[in-house]
A = this chain, B = another copy of it.
Amino acid sequence: MFSDKTAGMGEAYSPGSPRSVDHRTQVGADRSRRTRTKLIRGAFRAFASHGVDARMIDLVTREAGVARGTFYNHFRTFEEVFHETAKAVSIEIIRIVDPLVRQQSDPAARVACGVSSVVKLAIAYPTFAQFVVRGGPSAVTAGSLASEIVPGDIEAGISSGRFSISDRKLALDLILGPVLMAFHKVLTEKVSSSYPNLLAQAVLQSLGVSKASAQKFAFRDFGKIEIPSDSIFAKASS
Q: A interface, by DSSP: helix, strand, loop or mixed?
A: helix
| Interface set of A (CB-CB < 8 Å, partner B) | 53-55, 133-134, 136-137, 141, 164-165, 167, 169-170, 173-174, 176-182, 184-185, 189, 192, 195, 198-199, 202-203, 205-208, 211
30 contacts between A and B (CB under 8 A): A53-B53, A54-B55, A55-B55, A133-B137, A137-B180, A141-B184, A164-B211, A165-B202, A167-B192, A169-B185, A170-B198, A170-B199, A173-B185, A173-B199, A174-B178, A174-B181, A174-B202, A174-B206, A176-B177, A177-B177, A177-B178, A177-B181, A177-B182, A178-B206, A180-B180, A180-B181, A202-B206, A202-B207, A205-B205, A208-B211
Q: In the complex, which residues of chain B have a beta carbon less than 8 angstroms from the beta carbon of A173?
A: 178, 181-182, 184-185, 199
Once the chains are docked, how many angstroms separate the CA of A208 from the CA of B210? 9
- Taking CB as reference atom, which chain B residue is nearest A203? B206
- Taking CB as reference atom, which chain B residue is nearest A165? B202
- Taking CB as reference atom, which chain B residue is nearest A167? B198
- Taking CB as reference atom, which chain B residue is nearest A166? B198
Q: Smallest CB–CB gap between A65 and chain B, Å?
A: 17
Q: In the complex, which residues of chain B have a beta carbon less than 8 angstroms from the beta carbon of A202?
A: 165, 170, 174, 206-208
Q: List 12 other contacts, CB 8 Å, given A170-B202, A178-B178, A208-B211.
A: A53-B54, A54-B54, A54-B55, A136-B136, A170-B198, A173-B178, A174-B178, A174-B202, A176-B177, A202-B206, A202-B208, A203-B206
Once the chains are docked, how many angstroms separate the CA of A179 from the CA of B173? 9
Once the chains are docked, how many angstroms separate the CA of A134 from the CA of B206? 26
Q: In the complex, which residues of chain B have a beta carbon less than 8 angstroms from the beta carbon of A207?
A: 202
Once the chains are docked, how many angstroms separate the CA of A133 from the CA of B55? 20
Q: Decide: B176 and A181 in contact? CB cutoff 8 A.
A: yes
Q: In the complex, which residues of chain B have a beta carbon less than 8 angstroms from the beta carbon of A137?
A: 133, 180-181, 184
Once the chains are docked, how many angstroms separate the CA of A207 from the CA of B176? 16
> Which 7 A-B pairs give the minimum distances between C-beta atoms?
A177-B177, A206-B206, A177-B181, A173-B181, A177-B178, A202-B206, A137-B184
Q: In the complex, which residues of chain B have a beta carbon less than 8 angstroms from the beta carbon of A179?
A: 177
